[in-house]
Amino acid sequence: MKILVINSGSSSIKFKLYDMQNKIAICKGLIEQIGSKNSHAKLTVLKTGENFERSGEIENHGAGIDIMNELLFVSHTLKSLDEIDGVGHRVVQGADLFDDAVLIDEKVMKTIEELIPLAPLHNPAHLAGMKETLKVRPDIPNVAVFDTVFHQTMPKSSYMYPLPLEFYEKYKIRRYGAHGTSHNFVARQGAKILGIDFDKFSCITLHLGSGASVAAIKDGKCIDTSMGLTPLEGLMMGTRCGNIDPAIVPFLMKNANLSGEEIDTIMNKKSGLLAISGTNDMREIEAKMDAGDENAKLAFDMFVLRIKKYIGAYIAILGEINAIIFTAGIGENDARIREAVCSGLEIFGIRMDKNKNSVPLGEPRWVGLPETKVRIIIVPTDEELAIAEDTVRVIENLNGVPLK
Ligand code: ADP
């Protein structure tokens, strides 16, 4: 059984082909700078590391999907599109209109289109990807897997903003969260590692990549998360500011003569670790810090402090937890950040085995001291595999029989 996972962005298409019997990725690819003269497409066969590339203008997403198919054939990863049992599409924003992954049809695409105001960069790009794959082979089931679904179990008290109710009623302004596919995937892996049924598993998941978010999970259900209406809320990130006093926006408009749009760009692309230290790469920040750079140390400390504040807040609303789970680029690879985040949390029953923590990640594993109640677990996230699994589940439910 083969599942193709597509993450279609405004000027790019990322794809990965899975053999779902063995849960392994066969190949992955990236088509970049769609619509420019510098378009580039690359497919890597994961078993051999062999690359297949194409350069030259790729006009639009339709041409991108054609090149993806061509690369799948020339790399001999597929002989025919008939071998694909389903296509899973990542969708950033499903708002409160989707509480599970769904088979894509005209009605689903229309709803995703209606949600464009909430994800103006992402949802149009996802729709382009869906339309083009369906145009090539309308008979292959395509499934939409939403980043927001896992957070749909948040109670109203978590997802509402203390703003006039009409903003929620008229504009759907509320907290939706993001990275849900990753939080769900790593939490399930964590429960498996500890041998606890997921519906009895409570934890805090820390997705720390260039975008970063936290989720509070009680008995297998998300009850709060740090990202909000957009992925700007919450933690300090690579280039995003996370939580700030909202009054800073009108202050800057008035005193720095910046437009709302300019401030939005600054908060998303020129803030966070980058603004404080000059780089958004945590490896560089730590190297600079070791060389005595004070701003790098400040960025590191601010990043850690903000994570700790969320852990404290989430323990307060969760009560007892089984685990704290680290994932994504920083969470999986950076022992120093993990140690700094967990230090001082002993009062909550969180105690790290520093030796285990410093071993580079191979398999998912726990690095807490054995006698402590709360396990500290590191799990490599795999959002594409999670999308492929959801795609299989939706198709099987539809057919009423397992895929072969
Ligand atoms: P995204 O998918 O959101 O782009 P990733 O989850 O791949 O991000 O994380 C990217 C970030 O992870 C990089 O910006 C870098 O700061 C950090 N990172 C990757 N490897 C390491 C490492 N070995 N040590 C510290 N940070 C790392």
| Domains, in order of start, for the chain | 2-146 (3.30.420.40), 196-383 (3.30.420.40)
Could you confirm whether 147 is annotated as catalytic? yes
279 pocket-lining for ligand 1 (C-beta < 6 Å): no
Say if ligand 1 is within 6 A of residue 239 CB.
no
User: Which residue's alpha carbon is at the smallest distance from atom 12 of ligand 1?
Assistant: 329
Which pLDDT score, from 0 to 100, does residue 283 have?
96
Cβ neighbors of 218 (< 8 A, separation 6 or more) are 202, 318
Tell me, using a 6 A CB cutoff, whether residue 284 lines ligand 1.
no
For ligand 1, say whether the CB of 281 is within 6 Å of any of its atoms: yes
Give the separation between CA 297 and CA 311, rounded to whole angstroms. Answer: 21
Ligand 1 near 210 CB (within 6 A):
yes
Please tell me which residue in 85, 100, 147, 290 is annotated as part of the active site: 147
Mean pLDDT by 10 residues, the chain (404 residues): 93 94 94 92 96 94 94 95 96 94 97 91 91 94 96 98 97 95 96 96 97 97 97 95 98 97 95 97 97 98 98 96 96 96 93 90 80 91 95 92 76
pLDDT the model gives residue 108: 97
Q: Which residues touch 263 (CB under 8 Å, ≥6 apart)?
A: 249, 252, 253
pLDDT at 9: 86
> How many alpha carbons fall within 13 Å on the CB side of residue 129?
29
- Which of 330, 379, 382 for mutating ligand 1's site (highest number of atoms within 8 Å of CB)? 330
Ligand 1 atom 4: residue of nearest CA: 210
Name the binding residues for substrate.
Answer: 90
Residue nearest atom 2 of ligand 1, based on CA coordinates? 209
Q: Which token pair is 348?
A: 């909550």
pLDDT at 191: 96
